[in-house]
Amino acid sequence: MSGESEASTGTKIEPGRRYGFFTDTTLCIGCKACEVACKEWNLLPSDRASLSGMSYDNSRGLSATRWRHVAFVEKLDESGELPTAMPPFQSHWLMMSDVCKHCSNAPCLEACPTGAIFRTEFDTVVVQQDICNGCGYCVPACPFGVVDVDTDDGKAHKCTLCYDRLKGGFEPACSKACPTESIRFGELDELQRRATARVGELHAAGVADAYLYGTPGSPGATGGLERLNAFFLLTAEPEVYNLPCSPDRPANRVVPSLASGLAAVAALAAAAAALLGMRR
Amino acid sequence: MTRPPTTYYGQPALKPAPWVWKVPVYTFAAPVAGAAQLIGTIADLSDPDGGRSIVRHARYAALAGAAFGGPLLIGDLHTPMRWYNMLRIFRGTSPMSIGSWLLTGFGAFSSVVALAQYTIDRNAASARRTATGRNAGVRLSSRIAAVAQLPAAAAGAGMSLYSASLFTATSSPLWAAAPRSLAVKFGSSAVAAAAAGLSLLEHASGRPSPAASALDRIAGAATAMNLGATVAAGRAWRKAEVDGPLTEASAIGASYRIGSILLGQVLPLVCHALNASRSRPSRGLSMLGSLGIVCGSFLMRLAVIEAGKKSSQRPVDSLRFTSGRPRKRDG
């Protein structure tokens, strides 16, 4: 399959390969074109607009109807005072376009009892709207607070990495709309190569804080999460962006929990047999 | 105390489970029904004559719990019409899937057992009137019940404890912090509440069977185990610094500390211990202890579920819980 994506990003979209996003926060200018493009392409309803008082972030976070979200962090200086001088890089701003991480292993997928959430031929994670029954178990399973149940339609929703566009050979709407290439769509191996090179470039330029979040072995890809197909280049602690440093795979706890519970109930069953049998 | 992490304007970093009151009610009713089937089966196997009324009550209670729990679970879906999609696949990494199949199996086998029991009871009633004694229908029903109760009890044991796995296999810090002790807590609490409920039914039926006091002992043993698991879970929660929702002065904290621990564990243990030391057990003490266990078991579930939802909405708790930096490296 060839198409628009090959022309615009150099990425040929073929089933059976792994695709993802590399979001380089040092290039983000906070224009929110990704939020808007996502809403438009995916026909997501508008959110009730209100002022949050959180810098320029009035959309506050990802939700069932908001699959890209731009975070705005205004950095204070060490003393906590408002800064009066401008640093040479990124001034006092950290901006980051957050999105579903399309984890591997994906906790939402592993939690889904209906098989509505599945891994596509592009190695992305999608909720099939015609199967989801809105049990909501994917919601607390997600280590990143991404997937959400819409109480209006009773289904779980999150970023599909524009599954429909990929099928047609188009790059996702958000990366297409990003004017600074902060959001890059591509094949995962290629993106990771590029991201590693970018970190080296930034380090050489004196941005010692730059690191990757979500590539194998880095923060975000921990505790059984091998990698995040949507990964990030950050310049502050993950928590600053509301990201967990060491998330884990909730399914790791299923066996220990069931085994402990079974042992306890078995012991009590044996005690019950002894106590009831004593009167025979 | 580790330093509280930076947060993003205090916005939650996780989303809470979108479940309403039906889930706590289900996670009380269904596990207790499961444990009742288990106790009933054990009573049938170890003391078929003395435990006859216990077995009878347990079989009906098991079906009642399954019949009550299923609709609750379906009602909590945001698209209830599609409940049957739960049976599209089986997924071992999802306690929600494991539980759906357990409930299905439990409901099916418990229906067979209860139906067989009903046939036995009806025939016994008419036999008393006509003095013809046990007939072939009763013998067949007894045999069906004796066989079907085994898978029903096995599924019941699973029912009694899986909801702890349902909660612990999430990213909610409070649920995730104590996987093992939470499972022991839920399992032992279900067994205790089932034994207590069956004991209450014995008293309510007016003529408690001779095996009835064994139920109080089972409930006592299970409650002692529950208390141990409560201590262990409390330690794990404190260590992970996620215990806030359960220790603070709030409705959730009160129903956990006063409802589930004092009323549901300490009081019943005192009642049942006093009764065990008496030559003639007091009916009042037994019933008071049993009521405490049943109420405490429900309040424990309610408190743990609500606290877990709250926990995931506290970015300081959740980001600290995942703040380990074992493998951080640049690039």
Tens of pLDDT, residue by residue, chain A (280 residues): 458 999 989 999 999 999 999 999 999 999 999 999 999 999 999 988 799 999 999 999 999 999 999 999 988 777 777 778 887 788 888 999 999 999 999 999 999 999 999 999 999 999 999 999 999 999 999 999 999 999 999 999 999 999 999 999 999 999 999 999 999 999 999 999 999 999 999 999 999 999 999 999 999 999 999 999 999 999 999 999 999 999 999 999 999 999 999 999 999 999 999 999 875 4
pLDDT of residue A1: 47
Nearest chain B residue (CA) to A57: B9
pLDDT top residue among B205 and B1: B205
pLDDT of residue B128: 64
Inter-chain residue contact A140 with B38, CB threshold 8 Å: no
Partnered with residue A149 across adjacent β-strands are: A156
Q: Rounded distance, CA A29 to CA A23, Å?
A: 12
Inter-chain residue contact B329 with A257, CB threshold 8 Å: no
Q: Tokens 């196997």 label which residue?
A: B45
Inter-chain residue contact B324 with A245, CB threshold 8 Å: yes
Mean of all residue pLDDT scores within chain B: 93
Q: How far is A173 from chain B (nearest CA, A)?
A: 25
Inter-chain residue contact B191 with A268, CB threshold 8 Å: yes
pLDDT level of residue B47 (50, 70, 90 thresholds): confident
Least Cα distance to B214 among B328, B47, B329 occurs for B47
pLDDT of residue B133: 55
DSSP SS3 for A85: coil
**B170: which chain A residues are within 8 Å (Cβ-Cβ)?**
111, 137, 140-141, 250
Nearest chain A residue (CA) to B329: A218
Range of weakest confidence among A267-271, B41-45, B119-123: B119-123
A vs B, Cβ pairs < 8 A, gives 304
pLDDT level of residue B327 (50, 70, 90 thresholds): very low
pLDDT level of residue B331 (50, 70, 90 thresholds): very low
Q: What is the mean pLDDT of residues B294-314?
A: 98
Query: Is the pLDDT confidence value at B2 over 70?
Result: no
Least Cα distance to A60 among B11, B313, B309, B16 occurs for B11
Of A54, A154, A244, the CB nearest to B322: A244
Interface test with chain A among B2, B14, B317, by most A beta carbons within 10 Å: B14
DSSP SS3 for B68: helix
Q: Rounded distance, CA B279 to CA B260, Å?
A: 29
- A199–chain B Cβ distance below 8 A for any pair: yes
Nearest chain B residue (CA) to A209: B330
pLDDT level of residue B129 (50, 70, 90 thresholds): low
- A115–chain B Cβ distance below 8 A for any pair: yes
Chain A, 69 to 88: residues with Cβ < 8 Å from chain B are 71, 73
Inter-chain residue contact B188 with A115, CB threshold 8 Å: no
Q: Rounded distance, CA B13 to CA B317, Å?
A: 10
**B218: which chain A residues are within 8 Å (Cβ-Cβ)?**
268, 271-272, 275-276
Interface test with chain B among A75, A199, A212, A242, by most B beta carbons within 10 Å: A242
Q: How far is B130 from chain A (nearest CA, A)?
A: 30
Of A143, A261, A271, the CB nearest to B165: A261
Vertex B135 angle, CA B134 and B137, to 5° = 120
Nearest chain B residue (CA) to A265: B187
Other CB atoms within a 10 A radius of the CB of residue A49 amount to 8
Of B169, B170, B225, the CB nearest to A264: B225
Interface test with chain B among A72, A153, A258, A280, by most B beta carbons within 10 Å: A258
**B191: which chain A residues are within 8 Å (Cβ-Cβ)?**
265, 268-269, 272
**A237: which chain B residues are within 8 Å (Cβ-Cβ)?**
5-6
Inter-chain residue contact B218 with A73, CB threshold 8 Å: no
**A256: which chain B residues are within 8 Å (Cβ-Cβ)?**
179-180, 183
Query: Is the pLDDT confidence value at B1 over 50?
Result: no
Q: Are B191 and B218 in contact (CB under 8 A)?
A: yes
Runs of H (alpha helix) within chain B: 22-46, 52-76, 95-130, 136-168, 173-176, 179-204, 212-239, 244-247, 251-254, 267-277, 283-312, 315-321
**A248: which chain B residues are within 8 Å (Cβ-Cβ)?**
171, 176, 322
Q: How far is B169 from chain A (nearest CA, A)?
A: 4
Q: What is the pTM of this model?
A: 0.95
**A54: which chain B residues are within 8 Å (Cβ-Cβ)?**
9, 11
Interface test with chain B among A95, A268, A278, A279, by most B beta carbons within 10 Å: A268
pLDDT top residue among A146 and B331: A146
pLDDT level of residue B126 (50, 70, 90 thresholds): confident
The strand pair at A155-157 and A148-150 is best described as antiparallel
Inter-chain residue contact B169 with A251, CB threshold 8 Å: yes
Buried b vs exposed e over A93-121: b needs ≥16 C-beta within 10 Å?
A: ebbbbbbbbbbbbbbbbbbbbbbbbeebe
Query: Is the pLDDT confidence value at B3 over 70?
Result: no
pLDDT digits (tens, 9 = 90+) for B196-241: 999 999 999 888 787 889 999 999 999 999 999 999 999 999 999 9
Q: Are B312 and B173 in contact (CB under 8 A)?
A: yes
Interface test with chain A among B3, B7, B15, by most A beta carbons within 10 Å: B15
**A114: which chain B residues are within 8 Å (Cβ-Cβ)?**
82, 85-86, 88-89
